[in-house]
Amino acid sequence: MAEQPILSVRQLSKRFGSGKALVRAVDRVDLDIASGELVLIMGPSGSGKTTLLSMLGALLRPTEGKVAVAGREITDFAQAQLARLRAQQIGFVFQAFNLMEALSVEENVLLPAQLAPGGVKAARPRAAELLSRLGLTARAGALPHTLSGGEQQRVAIARALINRPPILLADEPTGNLDSHRGQEVMMILHDIARDEGCAVVMVTHDPRVEEIADRVLWLEDGALRDRRSDRHDWVQDPVCGMRVDAWTAMVKTLYQGQQHVFCSERCLQRFNEAPERYVHND
């Protein structure tokens, strides 16, 4: 990576609990993210994705290791410094849109600008530009509950970008959206990464997003690896017959000592109802 990474972590670890209850949620992760890059973090449930993202966004202090934003180490920052850093350098988009219900769309978008040097007034043209870009101009005065899920998530994206942060962190941003709206939100994030030079790091379970990502990282048991360099391990879903990558599949079960992999929870449920229908011991 020729340029200095906008976000860099070294030997980053987070442990919860102790003794028998010790959880190594993130375990000695090294990672460099460049400006304008769209990076996906995927992995099974409970593998440490949210914990890693929270440390990347200075929302959670690591147990060990270092985090640097634009070459500046933030590990020893006091709470007030971290709050300023988050307000100015990092935008967050979550699965739950977390909009303020009593505020209009535009007021929601402008909220983080209160913490920016120019304040809300200076940010108004930027808010108008973002609302236009995200197709929300006509809804600027509306209250969030009158918007569709996809529109609400677009408001959350505009809010995350109001202070022109060089880093945008998104945790399951399409988790509450149908596939069409989800795809739309993904393309917006992709375009923003490209046009604004913003690094986008996204946690997702959605394999369709892989196509638009620059890098796909796989987190398992707290450890990270580059998934595209790994080979695929194609197997057949025993219920529907679909080709599934056993290496990355989320839905698996053990039956008679053998692992079976499924395309969805629905197929697993059907399998569990009558496994003997799908497993042939010949």
Positions touching ligand ATP (CB under 6 A) are 16-17, 23, 25, 43, 45-51
Nearest to 170 by CA among 150, 194, 200, 192: 200
Shortest distance, CB of residue 167 to ligand ATP, whole angstroms?
19
| Cβ 26 vs Cβ 46: under 8 Å | no
Closest to ligand ATP by CB, 147 vs 217, is 217
Nearest to 209 by CA among 38, 34, 32: 38
Enumerate residues 6+ apart whose C-beta is below 8 A from 282: none
Shortest distance, CB of residue 88 to ligand ATP, whole angstroms?
25
User: What one-character DSSP code corresponds to residue 185?
Assistant: H
DSSP string computed for 19-56: GGG-EEEEEEEEEEE-TT-EEEEE-STTSSHHHHHHHH
| Distance of alpha carbon 123 from alpha carbon 115, whole angstroms | 11
Shortest distance, CB of residue 130 to ligand ATP, whole angstroms?
28
Closest to ligand ATP by CB, 17 vs 241, is 17
Query: Which tokens belong to 194?
Result: 């490209």
Shortest distance, CB of residue 164 to ligand ATP, whole angstroms?
28
Alpha carbons within 13 angstroms on the beta-carbon side of residue 255 total: 18
Shortest distance, CB of residue 219 to ligand ATP, whole angstroms?
7
Shortest distance, CB of residue 58 to ligand ATP, whole angstroms?
16
Q: Is 29 exposed, middle or buried (0-12, 13-18, 19+ CB in 10 A)?
A: buried
Shortest distance, CB of residue 15 to ligand ATP, whole angstroms?
9
Rg of the chain over Cα atoms, rounded to whole angstroms, equals: 21
Nearest to 131 by CA among 115, 114, 147, 118: 147
Q: Which residue's entry shows tokens 């194609």? A: 234
Nearest to 3 by CA among 35, 47, 31: 35
